[in-house]
Structure 1
Amino acid sequence: MKKKISYEFILKVFIIPALAAVLLVVMLLPACRREPSVNGGKSSVEAEAAEEGVKETVEPGSDDNGQEPAGAGDTEPTNVGAIQESILAGFDALMEIEPAPDKLLSYIDANFELVLPETMAALLEKLEYVQKAYIDKIIQYLFEGKAQQILMKSFATEEEFTKENAGKIQDETLRDETLKVFNGGFKFVNLEGAFYPIIDFEFLKKYSSRLTQEYNEYLQLRAEESNKIYSRDAALMISWDEIAARMINTENYLVRYLQDSPRRAEAGELFLGYFSAYIYGQNNTPTRDYSTNRVFDEVIQSYRNTIANNPGSKAASIISKLLLRLENNKFILDEELLGSLGNYINELIKTYGLDASNLQ
């Protein structure tokens, strides 16, 4: 009978010994490299440098004064690479046994001081993949038995439903499971009278000091949305100007970072969602008066603000086209004009090479 491999088993038997071995190599190799030879007490490297008049050069990864970055020490590039490979291998081993996101985050936290930006980016990218898959499992659990009823009695609003307030949940099992969800990088939002988990990107910003500029910009975009969802229950939760600002911010990210990646795909989906809401509105927050089809003044003013403040934006230029058509039609969004709005979305999809398959 095949035994189930636990997270603790992998951590103790494979990961910790591997990292310890790598770190031991890191400490020993520099010492061996500096062992003195018979050249007047100088190392062979120092002797050769003296004989040939070789001046100090700036090593890769050092600053302009030839000084290594803080924390770099004497670690060889190959040893740094071995550490990163070991960390990634350990993470992949954990993913093989399908651990909960809280276990993966514990692993990332344990290796925080060792990871380079590229490694942290790879770890968080894989974590997000697991988190997205795990959401359905959490929802299934929350709708089994009386979990939702208990949570609704414990918390009047989603703002109250925080990790710090988890003690209000009287059911011990539900409380423990809820804490695992929080520790897995999630938060809860109230949608149509029930609590649902979403990824808490604000929580993930704690890793920003170990991330690239591109990844930090991505987290900022996603955190802005997870902090305050722009749409729920078929209504906009933010102003027209706010949704325009988010639209422009995501567009700027797409312009700056052209390489295909899961992050660019997510940003593209968010961008199209903002743009669609900006020109269509929502069922409970329309852009126009349903009785007359006349576009509201505040929407028209927001369009004008967006056009004036973003001269280089493709999205703003499309809004300019739409505004001109509305002006020529006495600001009436009739069936013909409404039916053509999809062409504007397709234009943006083509411009930025986006995937619209998940666009609602």
Structure 2
Amino acid sequence: MKHRIVVACIIFLLLSFLPGCKVSEETIASDFNKMIEGTVDSTKIVAASTYLQENIKSVSRETGTGLLIQYEEYLNRYIKENPDKGRLSELVVFYDQKTKAFDEEKIKNSELKVYLEEIQAGGLKIVEYESNLVLRIDYEMLLEQYESYVGSAIVELYRLTAKVTDEPITEEAILKLSYEALLERALEAETILKNYPGDETVLADAMWIYTSHLNAILMGATNSPIFDYKTQAFSSEAMDAHISFMQSHPEATLTWVLKEYYTYLTSTSFTLDYSDKTASKVFFETCDWLVSEAEKRVQK
């Protein structure tokens, strides 16, 4: 993420020297940078969001992409620092487990209402994850507001990131997605990486999505292992999904990974006793190597 911000800043510096756009683009970029520097709070989120919506249409797509990336980083910084965590805790009692939404009519505290309105207006949402309410970026909202003013690479990445945000791979170390869904997402990430080779605005995040899903495809999760803890047998669900994918996408890097993976599985007779330290070590090292190789091959 930090590398993407550096790239965005370089874009602004280069564009500031272009004839005919120096004043407007340089001023917009400079003013926006000032708005989001320093401390983070929900009021600044609203101000920055309003400014971005009003001015992004006046700059090039390249500059607009840089501005949006900087805004995304600001939202991530707000989530990480969570300066208003007390308000988030107060909102818990108004969260409806059935509707997965807040009963805003019951919120009488005006400050809480303002806080909720500010973060929602700024592109954040509150979701339940592992029995806790947490802040997440609303990528669908960002796309709705800015898709027309930014590059296609960031649009494709945000569409995929929206899915990952709404439906994480795991919860309580249990797989929440089917192996088919994991493969579909990994293929989307692979497509972005291949369509925009070396594009620093999407490379790091697309690669993270790619490798994290690939790890789950090959290993499952702690409480949803790909080999059954009791029977030691390989998951039939995973096998069906893997084979179907290889048949449908013969040219994908993911298919190369799976072919190599099944060469290894054949040598184990599709069984693994996790309590066997030697066998487990070979399995995890094989998976790590495959993910590492995929990361290299997908960028060629």
Give the structure-2-normalised TM-score: 0.82
- Within 2, Cα distance between the matches of 1:290 and 1:258? 40
**Residues 272/168 of structure 1: CA separation in 2 closer, same or farther (3 Å cut):** farther
Q: 2:27 aligns with which of 61, 72, 86?
A: 86
- 1:102·1:181 contact (CA, 8 Å) conserved in 2? yes
Q: Structure 2: which amino acid aligns with 1:275?
A: L
Q: 2:112 aligns with which of 152, 174, 184?
A: 174
- Within 2, Cα distance between the matches of 1:209 and 1:133? 25
Offset at residue 328 of structure 1 (A): 4.0
**Residues 131/310 of structure 1: CA separation in 2 closer, same or farther (3 Å cut):** same
- 1:254·1:268 contact (CA, 8 Å) conserved in 2? yes
Fraction of identical pairs, as percent: 21
What is the number of equivalent residue pairs in this alignment? 272
Q: 1:195 aligns with which of 128, 133, 146?
A: 133
Q: Structure 2: which amino acid aligns with 1:226?
A: T
Q: In structure 2, the residue corresponding to 1:214 is in which secondary structure? A: helix
| Alignment-derived partner of residue 308 in structure 1 | 247
| Alignment-derived partner of residue 141 in structure 1 | 84
| Alignment-derived partner of residue 63 in structure 2 | 119
Q: Does 1:317 align with 2:227?
A: no
Q: Does 1:286 align with 2:286?
A: no
Q: Structure 1: which amino acid aligns with 2:254?
A: A
| Alignment-derived partner of residue 204 in structure 1 | 142
| Alignment-derived partner of residue 242 in structure 1 | 181
Structure 1 runs not aligned, ≥5 long:
1-76, 354-360
Q: Structure 1: which amino acid aligns with 2:251?
A: G
Q: CA RMSD in A?
A: 2.4
By relative contact order (CA 8 Å, sep 6+), the higher-ranking structure is: 2
| Alignment-derived partner of residue 253 in structure 1 | 192
- Within 2, Cα distance between the matches of 1:217 and 1:192? 28
The one-character-per-residue Cα deviations of 1:167-189 (angstroms, maximum 9, x if unpaired) are: 44333322222222212211122
- Within 1, Cα distance between the matches of 2:219 and 2:104? 39
Offset at residue 141 of structure 1 (A): 3.0
| Alignment-derived partner of residue 155 in structure 1 | 95
The one-character-per-residue Cα deviations of 1:30-89 (angstroms, maximum 9, x if unpaired) are: xxxxxxxxxxxxxxxxxxxxxxxxxxxxxxxxxxxxxxxxxxxxxxx8334532222112
Which structure has the greater CA radius of gyration?
A: 1
| Alignment-derived partner of residue 220 in structure 1 | 159
- Within 2, Cα distance between the matches of 1:315 and 1:88? 40
Offset at residue 249 of structure 1 (A): 0.6
The one-character-per-residue Cα deviations of 1:69-113 (angstroms, maximum 9, x if unpaired) are: xxxxxxxx8334532222112111212354533221111111143
**Residues 324/168 of structure 1: CA separation in 2 closer, same or farther (3 Å cut):** farther
Runs of 4 or more above 6 Å deviation:
none
Structure 2 runs not aligned, ≥5 long:
1-17, 274-279
- 1:117·1:212 contact (CA, 8 Å) conserved in 2? yes
